[in-house]
Amino acid sequence: MLANFDFSVITSSLPYLFFEGMRFTLTLTALAALGGIALGTLIAMMRLSGLPVIPLVAKTYVNLFRSLPLVLVIFWFYFLVPYLGQWVTGADRPMTVGAFTSSLVTFTLFEAAYFSEIMRAGIQSIPKGQAAAAQALGMTYWTSMRTVILPQVFRNMTPILLTQTIVLFQDTSLVYVLSITDFLGAASKVAQRDGRLVEMYLFAAVVYFAVCFVASMAVRQLQKKIAIIR
């Protein structure tokens, strides 16, 4: 049965798949993860701030994004952001927002909701006495967060943050709805051009699996290495 398959389509399209497709996927994953962790940390701090209103804003943000399907948000941003930009800048016509920018903004905002929950758990897991000790030494909230609390949180939570990033890596394939050439998009274009759907989708699955599996193993190794001695 395999005789009917032509796997040479894979080798001939490798440069396109990796230099175009995978490069986009990895760039989007890395930037969205960094942005999402930064924004998520801020949201987690807002949520735990104990100030009036602000925790509610953070909570609403998280609940909103966690209740929406990612594909819907991707669509929504892609078609809405140009008009939002027009409204904000008061321009005559909708702002031109590239597919990459649009998807980067979408993933950053969306993932921030998930990262913020990880960071919130991380901050809450640091004993209250640590913040008290930092305060007692005269540190302001921001100094103690930056030098005492968050470094410990990042060290404790890095494995979970990376695991979430692996999930993000898989989720970026959803940009296919915008006809973007990410790795899956590239594979799918080749598949349809050459009529080699089974081969290409099989190959794409193998690549996604290999990347995620290796990354998970690496995370596990890292976890052993960076644990704080208590």
Asked if residues 190 and 17 have their Cβ atoms less than 8 Å apart, the reply is yes
What is the number of other CB atoms lying within 10 angstroms of the CB of residue 171? 18
- As a whole number of angstroms, the distance between CA 17 and CA 100 comes to 17
DSSP 8-class letter at 98: -
Among 152, 170, 216, 223, binds other proteins (CB under 8 A): 152
Residue closer to other proteins by CB (options 93, 230) is 230
Residue closer to other proteins by CB (options 15, 127) is 127
- As a whole number of angstroms, the distance between CA 226 and CA 230 comes to 12
- x/- mask, other proteins, residues 199-228, rule CB under 8 A, reads -----------------------------x
- x/- mask, other proteins, residues 110-139, rule CB under 8 A, reads -----------------x-xx-xxxxxxxx
- As a whole number of angstroms, the distance between CA 143 and CA 148 comes to 8
Q: Shortest distance, CB of residue 121 to other proteins, whole angstroms? A: 18
Binding site for other proteins (CB under 8 A): 127, 129-130, 132-140, 143, 147-148, 151-152, 155, 228-230
